[in-house]
Structures are given as C-alpha cells and as structure tokens.
Amino acid sequence: MSSISYQVDADGIATLTIDQPGKSMNVISPEFTEELSEAIERAAADSSVKGIVITSGKSSFVAGADLIGMSGMIEHARNAPAAEALKVSSRLTEVLRRLETIGKPVATAINGTALGGGFEIALATHYRVAADDESIKIGQPEVQVGLLPGAGGTQRIPRLIGIMASAPLLLEGKHLSPAQAKSSGLIHDVVPAAELLAKAKAWLLSPQAKSVQPWDERGFKVPGGAGGMHPAAAQLFMAANAMTRDKTLGNYPAAQAILSAVYEGTQVPIDLGLKIEAKYFLSLLRGPVAPAMIRTLFVNKGRADKLVRRPQGVPKAKFKKIGMLGAGMMGAAIAYVAASNGIEVVLLDRDVEAAERGKGYARKLVEKAVSRRKMAEVEGEALLARIHATADYADLADVDYIIEAVFEDRAIKADVTKKVEAVIRPDVIFGSNTSTIPITSLAEASERPEKFIGIHFFSPAEKMPLVEIIRGNKTSDEALAVTLDFVQAIRKTPIVVNDGRGFFTSRFCMNYIGEGEIMLTEGIPAALVENAGKLAGMPVGPLALADETAIDLGWKIHKAAEIDLGDAYKPSAAIGVMEAMYVKNGRAGRKNGKGFYEYPEGGQKTLWPGLAELFPVKPESEWPSIDDLKKRLLFAQALDAVRTMEEGVLTDPEDGDVGGIFGLGFAPYTGGPLSMLDGIGIANVVAECERLAANYGERFSPPKLLRDMAAEGRTFYPAAKAAA
Ligand code: NAI
C-alpha cells in the first residue's frame, strides 16, 4: 500500500498526503524515499499540475528517520564500498534536490511535528506554512543520536537564517514551535490548523509563488562568504569549534562533523554543499558512535518500553491505587510520579507527620511545575489530592500494588512486610525499592515470596527514567508481568535482572567510584581523577559520585559483604579509602557536608584540601597517562557488566546498556558498557585488559566470558544488531 496519496484539484494543485499505513507517525525509510521520488516525478510530468503541496494525514507531519528500522542503512554504509555507500546514504538528498528544482512551486503544510528528515523535506520546498499549535515541534535533533541532518539540513538552514542562528538548531538539536520557527525565518507563515491547506494552495496560486529557492537565484550570497570567509564568521567558527570540543569533550564526532559541513558547505554553491554534507553524514554512519547511540537510546530503549521482557499469558494489570511505604527521599518522589500519572497513592510512614512531610515534597514539585507553567493549577491540586498521607495500615486495604522504601535495614523491612501483608488483598504484588539487599533474602519475611519482587528506582525519582526490576529466586512470572505493567503505567523505562548483591546497577556504579578511589591510593591527584571521569564522558567524577551516594554507604555495604560472604569475600583496594575518609575522619559525603569535597553554604563545592595528606600525590612523571585513567574508569564498570552476565544477573546485553545509560549516565556515546566492548572489538578488549591487569591490578584481567567470546569471534550483539 502506498503511503503517499496523490490528488489534483480543479485549480491544478497536486496534494501529496503522507500517511504511512499501520504507523502512528510518518517516518523516513528507504522505501518511503522512493515513494516520495515517484510522487514528485508524477507531479512533474503531469501537465495539469501547476503547483504541489505536501502534507500529512496523521497528527504529526513526519517525525524523522525510522531509527529503529535504520539498521539496514547503517549496515550497508559500513560494509559497501564508499561510492556505493554514499549513493544509498545520500538518496534522500538527491530526491529533495530534485523536488526544489522541478520547475513547479512546492509548498509544505506543516500540520504537526516535523523533525529531522521530516523538516528537511519542508526545507526543500519553496513555501512553508505551519498550523498555529504550540505543541508542534520543528527541528533537527540528529546530533542527539550522533548524526547530522543528512538531507540538506546543514546547508539549507544556514542559507535561510544565517550561520549564527543555525548553531543551536544543528549543534544542540534544539526544536522550535511554529511561532518561533516563523520569527527565526525558517518558515513563512503560521495559520489556524483549519486554514492550513487553503493557505498553502492560495500561495501556490498567487503571484508570489516561485519555483526557485533563494540559493538558486542569481545574486544569492552564501552565508560563509564565497572565496574566503568573512572575518566575523571565521571567528564564530573558531569559538564554536572550541565550544563543541569543550562541551562534548571530543567524544561526540557529530558536533565536529556538523561544524565542518556548515563551514565548508556555506562557502560554495548548494550542490557542492550538499555533497560535502553527504560525505560527513556517511563518515558518521561508518563511525562507532552513531550506530551505538541509535541502538541503545532508541532500539533497545524502545524495546524495553514495549516490555519485551514481559512474560506472556498474564492479563494486563491496572492500577487505580498503590501503597507507598516510607515517605522519605525515595518514597515521596515515587508517590509524586505515580500521582502525576493518575494513580492514587496511600503514602505511609511511621507517623502522620512524617507521611505529611513526604507529601510536602510532592507539593514543592507541583508548585515548581505550576510556577514554570508546566502544569495547570487545577492539575496540580488534583495530583496532590491523589496522595493520601497516613500512618494507618488499614488504609492499604484496597491498593493494587505495594512499593516499599523504608530504611535500608533488613529488620525494619521485614517488620513492615508482615504488617502490610496482614491487610492487603492476597493477589497484590509487593515491590521493594532496596538498593543493596538481595531480594531473595528480603522475601523470606513474606508469606508469599512468589509475589515479592525488587523495583529499584533512581534518585531523583521524579527525573530519572530508569527502573531496575529484580527477580528473586521465588518471584513468579505474574509478579514480573504486573511490575512491568506498573513501570509502564508511570512511564518509566524498565530493565529486568536477576537477584545478586547490588543487582546490576548498584554494583556497576560502585566500580566507577572504587576505581577513582584506588587512583587516590596510587598518588594521582584528586582533581585529575575527577577530570578523567568527565573526559571519559561520565556525568560527574567518581569522587563527586561517591559523595552523592554517601561514603558511609559504601563502607556499610563492605561490612555487610564481609559478614555475608565470609572467606569468599575479596575486598577491593578502595575499602582503605572509605575507611580513611569515613571511619577515621567522619567524612560521609554530601549528606554531612564533608566528603571528598567540601560544601560551603551557598558556595561551590571544592575538593577537600586534606586529601593530599591522606593520599600523598606522587611526582607527575609517575602518573599514568590520561588515556589510561579514562580507560580504567570505563573498563572497571564494563568488565563488571560482563561479570554480571557470567553470573546470570544480566540475561541480555540490552538491559546492561539501557541500565548503564538511563540509570547511571554511563558515557552515552559508547551506547552503554557492552556496546562499548563490541565497538572496541572483543579480541582487542581482551588484549587491553591483559595490559591493564599487568600495570594496574588483577581486577582488570579479562573475565572468562570475554576470552571465550574472543576465541569464538562472538559479540554481545549479533552482527546485524551490532550494526544498529
Ligand atoms: P529515607 O531515610 O529518606 O526514607 C526512609 C523513610 O522510611 C523515612 O521517612 C522513615 O521515616 C520511613 N520509615 C522508617 N521505618 C519505617 C517503618 N517502620 N514504617 C514506615 N515508615 C518507616 O531513605 P531513602 O533514601 O528514601 O531510601 C529508602 C529506600 O530506598 C532504602 O531501601 C534505600 O536503599 C532505597 N533507595 C535509595 C536510593 C537513594 O538514592 N537514596 C536510591 C534507590 C533506592
């Protein structure tokens, strides 16, 4: 079935309506590009057609490339000879260039969101009018997945609105409302939705109608200045170059490629500019970053959101009301999240005052949202009315799900579990938000361990998208299915892992912190350790993260492991650092204002000067290279992800990659820890691990799984998936 309908009216205006069958949004794919080409040729050849208007039959216009279906294109780009690859990857560019030069005026009626390739279609038409609707987004978000707008966006946008104004659109992927797009000069008009098509047709029939783009008109001045860039523009590029290097720390080649495409392409005629853009676009498709980012940020996340791990055969669960035990930092935020998704919450704490304090946190979030006009006042009131603060267990009698977030203390959790099970319906699933205690052992306090599961949120829960679901030994398929349904109901992204100490995410991030702490014991300055973390692409340095998660927590986990594991426990060299900091110097982290950093009231945190005394710095000549420091910080985490796969905690690399990025901010350009290893090549990783182990310690020696994979030529993602 065709996805573009073709209709010519009595005035000779051909309307091409894009409406891809069976899809909620129109997306760009190679098949669609060919259909578009056919429709354009048909209109070009039809002598009754005087003008063309392109619009969409869906509520959005065209949402951009079909990233999920892009694997074929990426694989082709990577494997085909360069000339052949370029031909395929620049096909839409060719079709759109034909569109703007067919000799008939073309208009776009932007009835809904037009992003990426969708907006690039509009840019290749002579007139753009959008519906007057603030929710419509217009822009080029490609940079966010490691790509550049590869169908003319980097050339037409600066030619329309200038190089300077293009920067936030192209380099940050910022999107605009129709009104903003009009005032910046990207579109010509904004009209009420009902008048959209009529307006486009009126333009096509008016004397102003043109079939030539500004850049194809005689006398057009390229914004980069032909035959040498204007000094002001050159200066801008120098600054932008430095900025993108600084902001993205060299890990994101897309920003540099966009700058180069704009710099080189805006000094020459458009046809050459489009060729330059196509060359950079292909280089990004062939590089490691875009495929890895697309795979994890879209393909894998999309699969997680669609609940690929949900056991079959369990009816979809509905949640009218849930019980939230503990109204502290986590409980209060989770209550807010549930209530903001229309679910009633019984928020229970030890006394009503504590429960009310938790509700107060939700109230603050509501007030902030209302003051920023992100929420209507009535909406905020309704949200708060859904949260019932209490200390009475009887109020839990009719809830559909339980989340427990009381103190991280086995005995308290066991006590609460018993009290709750005495009042809730027997079918209700009980999820614990523990961050460290194995679920199987917590379930021992339950009369129905098959209904007991881990539902691990991240702080601040109102912002963090990930929820780690942990199956205990006795957790049933039903408990998993219902919990996945709940995570979907509150619009978070789930990963599913098996039980183990620290599950997947908690132990994963401990490795980052631990490696940073070990570096201190090697005489490497704390500031260098922190910079290495940021240069590696992590959101914060390992010592700053230690302060956030609390140094005493690390110490307590160590003590618990000593007791639970006995002789089998192999403490990390980082323990000595926690002992020196917390046990000997009372430095627990941000929570007591004293950690690796100091937290002056109202001021910026600064590294604690006392560190140099506790961990004397060696002469610079003895420090490892910055590349080794970066590699150690990323490998310490990725190798632990491999170990969790060996141990069966992770059953699929997708969970590790989605969990690493969305839960902990693991360097997004890598596509996640396991994608990163695939990208480096497993055999290369093994060799690198051996070198790191010889230089820095046994913890880097390659896990057996990696050695086996290298020997058998296997990767974490099967070849086809590896490419996208
Ligand atoms: P918190 O100390 O801020 O809150 C705990 C709340 O539980 C307090 O309001 C306390 O009054 C209440 N409580 C204690 N005993 C109770 C009882 N017997 N009955 C009813 N309420 C009781 O702690 P936070 O940070 O909210 O942590 C709660 C749980 O969430 C812990 O298991 C923790 O490991 C886990 N968690 C914490 C994260 C964090 O970043 N803080 C992240 C993910 C999980």
Percent of the chain with pLDDT over 70: 97
Mean pLDDT of 329-342: 97
pLDDT at residue 433, rounded to an integer: 98
Residues present in the chain in total: 724
Q: Which atom in ligand 1 lies closest to the alpha carbon of residue 457?
A: 43
pLDDT at residue 234, rounded to an integer: 75
Does the interface predicted TM-score (ipTM) exceed 0.90?
Answer: yes
> pTM to 2 decimals?
0.89
Mean pLDDT of 52-73: 90
Q: Provide the 10 A C-beta neighbour count for residue 394.
A: 9
3-class secondary structure per residue, 560-625: HHHHHHHHHCCCCCCHHHHHHHHHCCCCCEHHHCECCEECCCCCCCEECCCHHHHCCCCCHHHCCC
Q: Tell me the per-residue pLDDT of 127-182, one tens digit each, with 9 for 90 and over.
A: 999 999 999 999 999 998 999 999 999 999 999 999 989 988 999 899 999 999 99
Q: Look at ligand 1, atom 19, and give the residue with the nearest C-alpha.
A: 350
Of residues 568 and 16, more confidently modeled:
16
pLDDT at residue 75, rounded to an integer: 85
Q: Name the residues annotated as catalytic.
A: 456
Is residue 488 scored above 90 in pLDDT? yes
Mean pLDDT of 268-287: 96
Give the Å distance between the CA of 63 and the centre of ligand 1.
Answer: 41
pLDDT band at 387 (very low <50, low <70, confident <90, very high): very high
pLDDT band at 723 (very low <50, low <70, confident <90, very high): very low
Q: Tell me the per-residue pLDDT of 661-671, one tens digit each, with 9 for 90 and over.
A: 999 999 999 99
Task: Record the tokens describing residue 10, joined without a space.
Answer: 């009595």
- The answer to whether 324 touches 405, Cβ cutoff 8 Å, is yes
- The answer to whether 14 touches 52, Cβ cutoff 8 Å, is yes
Is residue 704 scored above 60 in pLDDT? yes
When the pLDDT of each residue in the chain is averaged and rounded to a whole number, the result is 94
Q: Tell me the per-residue pLDDT of 299-316, one tens digit each, with 9 for 90 and over.
A: 899 999 999 999 999 999
Q: Which atom in ligand 1 lies closest to the alpha carbon of residue 407?
A: 5
pLDDT at residue 307, rounded to an integer: 97
Number of alpha carbons in the 13 Å side-chain half-sphere of residue 98: 18
d(CA 503, CA 45): 63
Q: Look at ligand 1, atom 17, and give the residue with the nearest C-alpha.
A: 350
Is residue 610 scored above 60 in pLDDT? yes
Of residues 123 and 501, more confidently modeled:
123
pLDDT band at 375 (very low <50, low <70, confident <90, very high): very high
Residue list, ligand 1 pocket, CB within 6 Å: 325-331, 348-350, 354, 405-408, 412, 416, 433-435, 456-457, 459
Q: Which residue has the tokens 């170059």?
A: 241
Give the Å distance between the CA of 394 and the centre of ligand 1.
Answer: 21
Amino acid identity of residue 379, one-letter, is E
pLDDT at residue 24, rounded to an integer: 93
Q: Which atom in ligand 1 lies closest to the alpha carbon of residue 330?
A: 26
Q: Look at ligand 1, atom 9, and give the residue with the nearest C-alpha.
A: 328
Q: Give long-range contacts, CB 8 A cutoff, 24+ apart: 633-636.
A: 633/512, 633/515, 633/516, 633/532, 633/533, 633/536, 633/538, 633/542, 634/536, 634/537, 634/667, 634/670, 634/673, 634/676, 635/688, 635/689, 635/692, 635/700, 636/511, 636/512, 636/514, 636/515, 636/699, 636/700
Give the Å distance between the CA of 330 and the centre of ligand 1.
Answer: 6
pLDDT at residue 175, rounded to an integer: 94
pLDDT at residue 72, rounded to an integer: 79
